[in-house]
């Protein structure tokens, strides 16, 4: 009987998620809403003109590709980081939505970050955005037919409304900002820089599974 109990206990440990770090509310994350989203989600608020966002993009993409089954990843572009006109920033948000719908969101994001932060080139107008999109394999036909569509414009409006709402409540004070399940905001500064990637992944997993 003791052997059977020991076996079952070991099996339970192996099947349960293991978090090397003990995460504490108020230190590693904040509760920003009473209700969580109906489905688990990991969301990043970012700007293409943010150097920190550019640096962390490879890690964000890796996390987004390794989320637990059923969890969604969403990016929300904000326009309060200076770098281009409000019109161009809106076009970038819409172009990302087009690329994401065509399963080229990561490629487009990487290309825009490289254009701005590595190649040190400006994005001056809508044609510059279009050229980047076509450069990652989006056809001119797909881009032109979608960029001004109702669904894409509405998606960009939703992004802007989320930005404004969270900014008013002082939840969104800079980027990158990570929110899990619409309820938990991650405190990036609480994570160890020497082990940032691993701790962020563990914290995201922990919050995706948190029920209270």
Residue 16's pLDDT is 42
User: What predicted TM-score, i.e. pTM, was given to this entire model?
Assistant: 0.89
Beta-strand runs (E) in 24-77: 29-31, 41-46, 72-77
Per-residue pLDDT tens for 163-197? 999 999 999 999 999 999 999 999 999 999 999 99
Q: Mean pLDDT score of the chain, rounded to an integer?
A: 92
Per-residue pLDDT tens for 84-95? 999 999 999 999
How far apart are the C-alpha atoms of 137 and 131, rounded to whole Å? 10
CB distance 208 to 180 below 8 Å: yes
Maximal C-alpha separation, the chain: 73
For the residues 68-84, what does the mean pLDDT come to? 96
């Amino acid at each position: 009987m003791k052997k059977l109990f020991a076996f079952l206990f070991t099996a339970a440990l192996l099947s349960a998620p293991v978090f090397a770090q003990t995460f504490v509310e108020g230190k590693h994350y904040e509760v920003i809403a009473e209700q969580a989203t109906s489905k688990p989600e990991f969301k990043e608020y970012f700007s293409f003109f943010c150097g920190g966002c550019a640096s962390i993009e490879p890690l964000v993409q890796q996390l987004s590709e390794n989320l637990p089954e059923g969890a969604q990843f969403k990016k929300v572009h904000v326009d309060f980081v200076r770098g281009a006109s409000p019109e161009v920033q809106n076009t970038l948000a819409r172009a990302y939505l087009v690329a994401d719908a065509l399963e080229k969101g990561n490629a487009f994001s990487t290309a825009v970050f490289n254009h701005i932060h590595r190649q040190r080139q400006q994005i001056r107008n809508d044609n510059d955005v279009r050229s980047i999109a076509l450069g990652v394999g989006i056809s001119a036909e797909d881009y032109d037919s979608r960029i001004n569509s109702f669904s894409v414009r509405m998606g960009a409006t939703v992004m802007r409304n989320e930005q404004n709402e969270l900014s008013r409540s002082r939840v969104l004070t800079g980027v990158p900002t990570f929110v899990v399940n619409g309820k938990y905001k991650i405190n990036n500064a609480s994570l160890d820089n020497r082990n940032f990637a691993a701790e962020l992944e563990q914290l995201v997993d922990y919050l995706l599974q948190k029920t209270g």
